[in-house]
Each structure stands twice: as C-alpha cells, then as structure tokens.
Structure 1
Amino acid sequence: MPAPISDEQHRRDREALLDTAEGLFYEHGIRAVGMDAVRAGSGLPLKRIYRLFPAKEELIVEVLRRRDRRWRGELAEYVERADGPQGRVSAMFDWLAEWFARPGFRGCAWINAFGEMGAASEAVLAEVRAHKEAFRAQVEGWVRDAGGGEAEAEAVFLLAEGAIVTAGITGDPAPARRARAAAERLLENAPV
C-alpha cells in the first residue's frame, strides 16, 4: 500500500499541475490541450490529477484564479512604485507594454478563456468576470487618486483593455504607449 501523501507533497503536486496547465492552456489554448498533455507535462498520474481537480473545468478555473492573483499583484507592485497619482496611471500602461513584449505573450488569458469556454462554462465565465471586475477596481482606484471621476476611470479601463486585446492580436507592444498617451490627455482634461 502506498504511503499517504504529505501536505507538502500535495502542495508541490498541486503547484506543478497548475504551472503545467497554465503554460499549456496559455500557449496552445484550453480546448486544444487534453488531460494527457497536462499529465505528461506535470509528471503526475491522471488518477492524482483527478484527485486534485475532479474535472478539467475546475482546473481551468483555478489556473485563472491563481493567474489573476499573480498578474494583478505584479501590476500593483509596479504601479505603486511610480511617483504621484498621475504617474501611477501612466505606470500601469508601462507595465502593460513590458508584459506585451515578454516572450510568449499571447494576449489576455481571461479573454482567451472566455473566447473558448465562456458560453459553455458558467464557472469559467464567472472567473473571467471576477478578474475583469477586480482589474477595473484597480484602475478606478488609480484614476480617482489622480483626480479622475467615474467617466475617466471607465475610459482608462477601456483603454487598458483595448491595448491588451490589440497587442495580443498584433504582437506589438505599441498599443500600450498609445493608450498611455490617451489616458494622460484624458486626465489632464478631467473636470475638477
């Protein structure tokens, strides 16, 4: 009889599985990646994988949830180092430009997941919406601190989202710079 799996081994297996699934889903697409590919990449037997995540949908949701925490955390850390409230709004677009230029950038993981699974999976759709609302709240906070109101916050959020989608399609980080310039003009002209 095999020895019971320790809490530490459970954590390591779960992280290895999530790392593998995230990389494969982002690079190849969720539907294109079968559980056999996840098994081969993670080195875990299918039985162990299904004990950790009884359905592929649960694995997808957890991949998105974990990526959200990391993505928004890295963004916030970068933005908070900028000088002044307006500098933080500009820094958001600088961070996006750096993200767009990273090797392997394939656009927004949540938009990609929505495109593949949104109509077929309420759980994935809910996770995508939760990410977009959390990102919107981050942007709203930075814009309000910079003197913008609700209309400016919505516009800056849409500029960021548009830059993400455009960079994902074109493979060019330039949309972040253009969106940054538009956001700066918008805040300069915001009613006081």
Structure 2
Amino acid sequence: MTEDIAEKILDTAERLYYAQGFAAVGMDELRQNAGVSLRRLYNLFPSKDDIVLAVLARKHQRWEQELDEHLARETDAVERLLAIYDYLFTWFQTDDFRGCGFINAFGELGGQDENVAAAIRAHKASFQRRVAELVADAGGSPALAAQLAILAEGAQTTAAIAGDPAAAEDARNAAEILIQAALAPASQG
C-alpha cells in the first residue's frame, strides 16, 4: 500500500515537474494533485529534494530501458548508432515533449543542489558510456562517441526550443556523415 502511494506521488511529481518546472511545483500542489495528505507525503519523502531525486532515478531507468529496446531492433552496429536519433525523433513527436527532463532539472536546480546535479551528471555520463559502447561495436573511436553524444544532446535542446522534431533528423544526418568519415579509413585499410 505504501509503495503504491509512493508511486502515485512520483507519477504526479514527474508529470507536474515536466509540465510546469521543478521549481514551480510546491509540495502543497503536489499533495493536492496526488490526493495525499501533507503528512503522508512527508512521511514517504522527507523533502522536495528526495522527490526530485526519486523522479530523476525513475526517468533514468525508463530512458535506458526505452533506448535499449529501440536499439535492439537493429542488428547492424552502424544502424544501432543511427537508431539513437530515430528514438529521439519518436520521443520528440510526443504531445507532451518539453525537452530533456534532466537538462530542465539542471537548469532549474543544478546550481542549487549538488545531489540533484550529481544525479543529472550520472545520467548524462551513462548515456555517453552507452554511445561509446555502440561506437566501439562499430569500430569507431572514443572521439566519435563524444561527437555523437553531443549531437543527441543538442537535438534534444533544439527540438524543445524550436518545437520541431526535425532536429532529430538533422542530428541523424550529421551523425551518418561523422560515422562514415570516422569508419572509412578503417574499412579501406
């Protein structure tokens, strides 16, 4: 029962934070929308930081699972790399897309809360490691991995600001050029 209530609170917090911003949503608004007492909310999550960190942990887990499921559809190493941008394109087309929740949280809270900043950095580092693994599988260098990760991050920000999912297609096209250039010498030698 307690776990169900905690999940309901986290579902509500994630929805509100993503729609309105982390700083804009107070504990009372969260309590009202989740349908729990303030006492119950604080018993489960002693501070707003605890809720924010739990929301970020869930988002991280979901991001990795969804990305891995999308990448698993491809068997070719290069196509798996390009599938990152296909995944982004699908995400950017959702009705509630408002950019990367981690980038949003960092912009609002990262300078004020070192624990939140650390969770966000860990998420971004995990994504960079995942891209590096995929690049290594394709025979590319760590430099290529860094470039492809930056393209994905830039696409997220551009799509959110412009309100246009085409940023993922543009990033995919640039990634394809980078991959071809990086892998061409290896395949010719």
- What's the TM-score, normalizing by structure 2? 0.95
Aligned to 2:12: 20
Aligned to 2:69: 77
CA contact (8 A) 1:93 1:180 kept: yes
**Structure 1 ranges of 4+ moved more than 4 A:** none
Q: What code does the residue aligned with 1:142 have?
A: L
Aligned to 1:36: 28
CA contact (8 A) 1:107 1:167 kept: yes
What is the count of residue pairs matched by the alignment? 184
Counterparts of 2:13 and 2:150, CA distance in 1: 29
Residue among 84, 103, 108 paired with 1:111: 103
CA contact (8 A) 1:167 1:174 kept: yes
Aligned: 1:128 with 2:116:
no
Counterparts of 1:51 and 1:139, CA distance in 2: 39
Counterparts of 1:170 and 1:41, CA distance in 2: 30
Aligned: 1:143 with 2:135:
yes
Q: What code does the residue aligned with 1:57 have?
A: D
% identical equivalent positions: 47
Counterparts of 1:90 and 1:12, CA distance in 2: 38
Unaligned runs of 5+ in 2: none
Aligned to 2:163: 171
- What's the TM-score, normalizing by structure 1? 0.94
Aligned to 1:159: 151
Counterparts of 2:78 and 2:61, CA distance in 1: 24
